[in-house]
Structure 1
């Protein structure tokens, strides 16, 4: 019987309602006011400084919730459950009309987004194939073609609710299209494993 096999799929982790409501509200109230650093991609986008869990009891509580999920997701990437640590965290405030340019996250292995407010459908996080890569140089792109998982250039993540969490490999390109709704506030973060071991050649990481 004929079959199509998905070779080397990219893992994407989604945890609806991952953060309890009191913690979500606490993070929103405390850190949204600290997002004063402008973004060169959009004047309607601002960030906090880079944060560490030790900066606030709220972030310590959040780190305790996130760490088991990082270990679970990391096992899909590396085939082993291992200790993970949050390298850095920051809060993004995206006003109406704002956008986030396509980018990925350097010097980390897992990145994530915690949605702190409702997200308008126009500003759902979009994930893209990296420019270049191993694709054919020719494309079949016209109104009659059907887009599927093997030929799409981008994937729009599901509509999030406040408190939802997503995790993805840090190399994955992503962006936020222009926001046509109200203020969108998220907490983003990067994480690293304690170490990687390739047949005795071990690299350790510190957060």
Structure 2
């Protein structure tokens, strides 16, 4: 792990893979005074700080002193997402996995997913599976419009499109759950550390 200053108000930890990111995020736990946010990404963890209350050096020491446990995940609440599994790509995903569409649904709902980081759009959380092989390629030709609430897979991740947007993920189904709402606290349901269980309501 490399820990580098990122200006005078943040520290960036560079890691080898997503498992290390999740383990470090879990190990950091409750931030000390002056730390404003801990933001995981695919291979990094950014720690934003208030330089009037702490220093880059102090936060760097805090990050370096963390003791990540391999396989650890941040503590957070669980979110149940009801899904109608009628996605346009369900059969294609089944072919990739070498099983039936019904088995894809069983595997997807039987997996505990953990949001590793967010990106692409507000409320779009990249959730990883606790177990199982989910190496699902993106579509060769992205769609220009993916409806809000679309439940999808790509690579090792599953997510829900929080709003209508272009996208190249494989669509499994849809949910009526509003994933992002600026009038709600928190606005995003999918946040780093949240454990997600998809429930079949087809």
Pick the TM interval, shorter chain: under 0.3
Q: Structure with the greater relative contact order (CA < 8 A, sep ≥ 6): 1 or 2?
A: 1
When normalised by structure 2's length, the TM-score is 0.25
When normalised by structure 1's length, the TM-score is 0.25
